[in-house]
Structure 1
């Protein structure tokens, strides 16, 4: 389950106020978000290390979070810097998808909020369509990997993605008129 910006922010503030249950719940919810963020940018080999480094940084630097700002902007800033530090340490130079967009601070907050809007849109779809779109378009899995993970045929996965995207496009275009 993906949490909304409001839920993540509420848990972070609860943790800052001394609620250990909220802080633990926040860290559990962040792991899949960070895995998807890292997987899209650096490949499978480094994902778990980067997720753990980022979770540690979120924990140790939680006092720097400004309660009046969106939580995900703060979170993904930490993740971005941890990724850059990791590549510097390991001296591995490979293109990071969208790095130039990530490094530009202007608009970062809006893009973080937009990711949450995508999750809200996916919640309106039938569960299988939402799972297949998340797996293939957000988490970066191939159609075969997504189908296998969900226990369905590849053609069923393709149809689910196609129908889901078509439904989302209709909803988005309908909202603009």
Structure 2
């Protein structure tokens, strides 16, 4: 099997080609995905649950829900979510228990960093309502880790203006999403 870092780009390209109506790449996607799913379910499906049935259910779900795939996001994270829900459904139907701790359920075939990609996607959605400069400042100071001084130099602003913009942006998000902001000195 290919290295995990190679899987995401390859599967994503095949999925996009399939969405564009190319049957050959889409068939290769389903073939490769079926092998990854077999390995995933073999490690996680308890006795009494047919892993091959789960593979087929997941492939059908990927096919029927392919229009919901957001081309700007990692394909493996999207497919993983479907696989995970199919496993949970099977466990509920069979009243079975996982052989592996639930914490390990995130290790389908998602490359390292996929969780970070999902968090980045969620962060972008949350911050989309903010003005572009405020988004950039919050990202630079709170995500990237630039100091207020570095962000001020980067954006041609005073340190005070950066602090105020970041504070107001976070306060706006807190009001919208029910959170609170951490005050820094």
Q: If the length of structure 1 is used for normalisation, what is the TM-score?
A: 0.55
Secondary structure at the aligned position of 2:97 is classed as: coil
Gaps of 5+ in 2: 115-185
Cα contact 1:8–1:71 (8 A) shared by 2: yes
Tell me what 1:83 maps to.
87
Residues 1-177 of structure 1: matches in 2 within 5 Å?
1-2=1-2, 4-43=7-46, 45-90=49-94, 92-102=95-105, 112-114=110-112
Tell me what 2:127 maps to.
none
C-alpha distance in structure 1 between counterparts of 2:14 and 2:98, whole Å: 34
Cα contact 1:54–1:82 (8 A) shared by 2: yes
Instruction: Give the root-mean-square deviation of aligned CA atoms.
Output: 2.6
Cα contact 1:13–1:67 (8 A) shared by 2: yes
C-alpha distance in structure 2 between counterparts of 1:30 and 1:14, whole Å: 15
Cα contact 1:41–1:98 (8 A) shared by 2: no
Shift of 1:97: 1.1
Gaps of 5+ in 1: 117-177
Cα contact 2:61–2:82 (8 A) shared by 1: yes
Secondary structure at the aligned position of 2:110 is classed as: helix
Higher helix share: 1
Shift of 1:100: 3.7
Count of equivalent residues? 110
Larger radius of gyration between Structure 1 and Structure 2: 2
Displacement over 4 Å in runs of 4+: none
Shift of 1:73: 0.6
C-alpha distance in structure 2 between counterparts of 1:115 and 1:27, whole Å: 23
Shift of 1:98: 3.1
